[in-house]
Chain A
């Protein structure tokens, strides 16, 4: 009798657990991936990448003038994972049947849940280049996302039409330079190939019909005294003095803080220049972090290489607000000379970043301890 009782008890317990789990799951907040519908994600190009919640990956499509949210279905939590992949471009080239020089790697993001790395690239350098999004596992295994059939949704960016209706394709494009997801909104910056104007867009996610096309909230990123309508090249959400900010690095390399609270329709946006990295340089990516009780931001640059900005006093630093005091000044930074030929940076966890470097036609991915 005793065994039978135990079996019954086990069944009862199991059933109760299932019911509790079902009830709990019903009360979970809506899965960000659940709003996506399966089908062909019609990407014309795959550029800037950033992760939203629940393994949703946002892909900036500069040529298509849109942002596509993809369900990576990659939600198994992993605390940390080190990646060291040599010849990533060769692996991708092999998968898609071209020589490595025909692979352009555009951006990289780390899935905050699974710690797998996602890379956007182009197969080919011409106008018929095919967009690619690949997953790179710590083992080095490279798997492309099947864009032909994947749960996804997209939102179109506003684009000015060409006057010449006979033109085969509108020559005006906005290259999406960076994206970040914060508090249910996707922040997007871009750079036009025609006007100097810069816009910082905030798009609520899930993308609603109302959020499409001209319904996007848009404001001009106006900023310190020296920069007028300059395009933001890279940015990160950042907390200063308990208040949320956007830290934006501009094309002429000033670092500017913009209070998130100011980013509202109808408000005046005023940014403050808090550092200047110097000229002839484009900032590429930023990774903010804390180490030994101090705040830092690791910044990759086209010309200056990787620098480590001391960020402890960013909240109280005197703004650089007079042209006469502009110097490579504001927050101090160290050059990280051990990191060379860095093209992209991405945060892995509190203590690690992923580095994409390219040397002699070889693109490598490597996890590093934050310096």
Chain B
């Protein structure tokens, strides 16, 4: 009898080992499964999370969010958010009364993204007024936020980095993370403010500067930029006189043609605002067409979708249109006005008539 008992014991132990060995955690298409284990139809008192948990990274952090289900007799965990490249995931299976089984997985491999670069910067001129208000940086593809402090620099003529030039702590992005707006410290631009008199404007007339964007700036995939970006510029005289549409040179196109209407401002204007604050109205209402901006944002070209019909037209100018120094139509940046309060966000327009013959 005794040998038989031994055999039975060995068989039981072997069977248990075999069963324990057969249990494994698998990761398939972003979903974790416990193979070789038959879960009960209903979750245990502590929920399925007491049986299977997945942790991200190495820090002492709570288990990942997600949902559990039993599918075809297998316990399945679907993370609430997709697994991320570059992250180690640790799945822990606690079978009641047994040693936990642990397995680590790497997040998905990073897709080799086309190298992202700085596409263009506005103002595009290489002489900028000492009271230039903003920089617009266009990237060729979406990039990561929260990198300005480390990756964007303004250097002086000797290559020394300048602090207190741009407003700190304020990255303004478009929804696609492809265009960054940075503001020069307005306190140093406005005359009469302490910082303007003490420190002078952020850009000094006659001095040379370089805007540098490090290639270490990660794009939206976490990959560095293709190259450093450098834009050299020189400080020019401040522009304090507001733009006046009456002084603009408007070159009307010929009737029956699709040649562009050309408006020359005599100064560099705010590039993004030129995309939406100038419109053309004709005898039949607003004219549809496409906009091009050139000459360092001193010139605006409007090509109609349909050929021009003879008649009188209006160039409609939103008075919030700014030049690169933040001067709005008929209103300089650093002169205060008390505006009439309006119930709705109204846009005020001025118009410049022109004839198409």
- Asked if residues B341 and A220 are in contact (CB atoms below 8 Å), the reply is yes
- Asked if residues B276 and A99 are in contact (CB atoms below 8 Å), the reply is no
A-binding segment of B175-183, B248-256, B259-267, B306-314: B175-183
- Asked if residues A125 and B81 are in contact (CB atoms below 8 Å), the reply is no
User: Is A31's beta carbon under 8 Å from chain B?
Assistant: no
The size bracket of the interface on B is 35 or more
Known A99-B86, A127-B142: A279·B185 in contact at CB below 8 Å? yes
A-binding segment of B10-18, B43-51, B62-70, B96-104: B62-70
Interface hits, A47-78 → B, CB 8 Å:
63
B176 contact from A127, A220, A222, Cβ within 8 A: A127
CA distance A227 to B347 in the complex (A): 21
- Asked if residues B133 and A196 are in contact (CB atoms below 8 Å), the reply is yes
- Asked if residues B220 and A128 are in contact (CB atoms below 8 Å), the reply is yes
User: Is B192's beta carbon under 8 Å from chain A?
Assistant: yes
Q: 1/0 contact trace for B131-173 toward A, CB 8 Å?
A: 0010000000011111100000000000000011001111011
B62 contact from A91, A126, A163, A227, Cβ within 8 A: A91
The residues of A that contact B199 with a CB separation of less than 8 Å are 279
- Asked if residues A164 and B275 are in contact (CB atoms below 8 Å), the reply is yes
Min Cβ gap B236→A in Å is 20
Q: List 11 A-B contacts (CB under 8 A).
A: A95-B62, A102-B84, A163-B291, A218-B345, A222-B338, A228-B335, A267-B341, A269-B341, A278-B195, A280-B195, A326-B193
Min Cβ gap B135→A in Å is 12
The residues of B that contact A336 with a CB separation of less than 8 Å are none
Interface hits, B46-79 → A, CB 8 Å:
54-57, 59-65, 79
- CB-nearest residue of chain B to A192: B172
B-binding segment of A1-9, A22-30, A169-177, A290-298: A169-177
Min Cβ gap B103→A in Å is 16
Which of A104, A217, A267, A323 neighbours the largest number of chain B CB atoms within 10 Å of its CB?
Answer: A323
Q: 1/0 contact trace for B102-129 toward A, CB 8 Å?
A: 0000000000000000000000000000
CA distance A144 to B56 in the complex (A): 16
User: Is B28's beta carbon under 8 Å from chain A?
Assistant: no
User: Is B41's beta carbon under 8 Å from chain A?
Assistant: no
User: Is A237's beta carbon under 8 Å from chain B?
Assistant: no
Known A98-B87, A171-B175: A93·B145 in contact at CB below 8 Å? no
CA distance A124 to B143 in the complex (A): 11
CA distance A129 to B54 in the complex (A): 21
CA distance A123 to B331 in the complex (A): 42
The residues of B that contact A96 with a CB separation of less than 8 Å are 56, 64-65, 80-81
User: Is B33's beta carbon under 8 Å from chain A?
Assistant: no
Min Cβ gap A302→B in Å is 4
User: Is A266's beta carbon under 8 Å from chain B?
Assistant: yes
A127 contact from B54, B164, B181, B220, Cβ within 8 A: B220
User: Is A87's beta carbon under 8 Å from chain B?
Assistant: yes
Known A104-B145, A126-B142, A323-B193: A94·B57 in contact at CB below 8 Å? yes
- Asked if residues B218 and A90 are in contact (CB atoms below 8 Å), the reply is no
- Asked if residues B57 and A90 are in contact (CB atoms below 8 Å), the reply is yes
Majority SS at the chain B contact face:
loop
The residues of B that contact A265 with a CB separation of less than 8 Å are 341-343
Min Cβ gap B81→A in Å is 5
- Asked if residues B62 and A281 are in contact (CB atoms below 8 Å), the reply is no
- CB-nearest residue of chain A to B272: A194
CA distance A265 to B220 in the complex (A): 43
The residues of A that contact B219 with a CB separation of less than 8 Å are 126
Min Cβ gap B333→A in Å is 7
- CB-nearest residue of chain A to B274: A163
CA distance A309 to B87 in the complex (A): 44
Min Cβ gap B158→A in Å is 21
User: Is A193's beta carbon under 8 Å from chain B?
Assistant: yes
User: Is A161's beta carbon under 8 Å from chain B?
Assistant: yes
- Asked if residues A99 and B57 are in contact (CB atoms below 8 Å), the reply is yes
- Asked if residues B187 and A280 are in contact (CB atoms below 8 Å), the reply is yes
Q: 1/0 contact trace for A230-254 toward B, CB 8 Å?
A: 1001000000000000000001110
- Chain A residues at the B interface, C-beta cutoff of 8 Å: 44, 63, 87, 90-91, 93-100, 102, 104, 122-130, 142, 144, 158, 160-164, 168-173, 175, 191-197, 199, 214-220, 222-228, 230, 233, 251-253, 264-270, 276, 278-282, 284, 302-303, 323-324, 326-328
CA distance A90 to B190 in the complex (A): 42
- Asked if residues A266 and B343 are in contact (CB atoms below 8 Å), the reply is yes
- Asked if residues B64 and A95 are in contact (CB atoms below 8 Å), the reply is yes
- Asked if residues A196 and B333 are in contact (CB atoms below 8 Å), the reply is yes
- Asked if residues A94 and B339 are in contact (CB atoms below 8 Å), the reply is no
CA distance A63 to B178 in the complex (A): 13
B144 contact from A126, A195, A233, Cβ within 8 A: A126
CA distance A284 to B277 in the complex (A): 31
User: Is B240's beta carbon under 8 Å from chain A?
Assistant: no
Interface hits, B256-294 → A, CB 8 Å:
270, 272-273, 275-277, 279, 290-291
Min Cβ gap B73→A in Å is 26
Min Cβ gap B133→A in Å is 7
CA distance A16 to B275 in the complex (A): 69
- Asked if residues B341 and A268 are in contact (CB atoms below 8 Å), the reply is yes
B173 contact from A193, A220, A252, Cβ within 8 A: A193
User: Is B2's beta carbon under 8 Å from chain A?
Assistant: no
- Asked if residues A302 and B64 are in contact (CB atoms below 8 Å), the reply is no
A279 contact from B55, B193, B275, B343, Cβ within 8 A: B193
- Asked if residues B84 and A173 are in contact (CB atoms below 8 Å), the reply is no
The residues of A that contact B335 with a CB separation of less than 8 Å are 228
- Asked if residues B339 and A220 are in contact (CB atoms below 8 Å), the reply is yes
Min Cβ gap A317→B in Å is 17
B276 contact from A125, A172, A227, Cβ within 8 A: A172
- CB-nearest residue of chain A to B147: A125
- Asked if residues A123 and B345 are in contact (CB atoms below 8 Å), the reply is no
- Asked if residues A193 and B181 are in contact (CB atoms below 8 Å), the reply is yes
- Asked if residues B167 and A251 are in contact (CB atoms below 8 Å), the reply is yes
CA distance A193 to B344 in the complex (A): 20
User: Is B243's beta carbon under 8 Å from chain A?
Assistant: no
A268 contact from B173, B193, B338, Cβ within 8 A: B338
